[in-house]
Amino acid sequence: MTKILIIDDDPLQVELTCAYLTHAGYQALGAVNPYEGVAVFTRERPDIVLCDLAMPGGGGLAVLDEIQKTSPFTPFVVVSGTNDLTQAVGAIKRGAWDYLLKPLAGYELLAPLFDRLLERAALLRQNAAYQEHLEELVQERTTELVQQLKEKDVLLAEVHHRVKNNLQLLLSLLELEREVPVNGEAQKARDRWERTLRTMALVQEELHSAYEGAAVALQPFLANLIQHTLMEKNWRRDAEFDLRVSPSYETPGRSLALGLVVSMLLVEVVPPKKAWKLEVSLETGKKGKMTLCVVPLGGRWSAQTEARWPPSITNLVTAIGGAFHFEAGKNQVVVVID
């Protein structure tokens, strides 16, 4: 049974309204001042409140403020004996749901009003419950994703650690092999393998540092990679590099392949005996197509002396579905990766 609370400083008005509502099938509750009204509301938790706007002791707006603190979805209707619309607008702004004038034109108008108010209150409560449930679902999903990212970070750290150890082991074995005398070609092959492994170790280290969640930030990844490669070759003092990469992210796999290509190309640079500059640019086109351009200004490529590019570079580019081009006139290497 729907509970209706009537608050009015006129006891007769309260008695008459309660009698009609009881006869109409409602459970009617009455209060003759604001304090009693708030007390009855707190105790009985009615479904709708009809409250006189002008009463001694704070009036209907004071009651409205108190009820809204604990029950914002309870319909609150203010009733006034004046035709001042300013009061009506002020009450609605404060949170009243509707406004009635005394004397009421007819009690029979209350039932349709109550039905409309209860329907609106039910919708508001349903929406609030949905929002609360949605927030709980979002929070739960966020917690799950955070946990998955933490687990993924731990796994990646473990993979990085193992790859790093394996590369170091291979480098140690190659170092031991240096005690075995070999001919010139074998020595060149051994030196090239050692350079390749060191390059892979450097790329792996920088890739792990640049990894952000599920992708790799290319600009800081390539910048650190180039800088550390120049330092490894003892070129950092005489060389400066210009890196042009638009802010973008790539998958770890494509980033690793790109980093290996860049590092292997830098190993093949023959620097001059004076200050020089390295230009590296990377453009990402439609459908993720990447175009890498490397130009050693003032330097040259070892392939120009040996008349061929190392198979380790050309094979790597082919393996990742790319195309390798050397433009002799511009002294630049262009690698296109689909």
Share of the chain above pLDDT 70, in %: 77
Q: What is the pLDDT of residues 70-116, one digit of tens each?
A: 888 889 988 887 766 777 778 888 888 888 887 776 778 888 888 89
Q: What is the pLDDT of residues 275-321, one digit of tens each?
A: 888 899 998 877 778 889 999 988 888 877 666 787 878 888 888 88
- Cα–Cα dist 203/222, whole Å: 9
Strand partners, 280: 243, 294
Average pLDDT, integer, range 17-25: 88
Q: What is the pLDDT of residues 181-237, one digit of tens each?
A: 667 666 666 666 666 666 666 666 666 666 655 678 888 888 888 888 888 778 777
Share of the chain above pLDDT 90, in %: 7
Q: CATH topology for 3-129?
A: Rossmann fold (3.40.50)
Q: Which CATH number fits domain 212-337: 1.10.760.10, 3.40.50.720, 3.40.50.2020, 3.30.565.10?
A: 3.30.565.10
Work out the number of other CB atoms within 10 angstroms of the CB of residue 333. Answer: 23
pTM attached to this predicted model: 0.48
Nearest to 207 by CA among 265, 170, 249: 249
Average pLDDT, integer, range 119-126: 88
Q: What is the DSSP letter of 142?
A: H
Work out the number of other CB atoms within 10 angstroms of the CB of residue 115. Answer: 11
Q: Say if residue 5's pLDDT is above 90.
A: yes
- Cα–Cα dist 318/108, whole Å: 86
Judged by DSSP in three states, 58 sits in coil
How would you class 48 by CB atoms within 10 Å of its CB: exposed for 0-12, middle for 13-18, buried for 19 or more?
buried
Q: What is the pLDDT of residues 138-154, one digit of tens each?
A: 888 877 777 776 666 66
Please list the residue range(s) of the chain that carry CATH number 3.40.50.2300.
3-129
Please list the residue range(s) of the chain that carry CATH number 3.30.565.10.
212-337
* Phi, psi of 282, deg, nearest 5: -140, 120
**C-alpha 26 chain-centroid distance:** 51
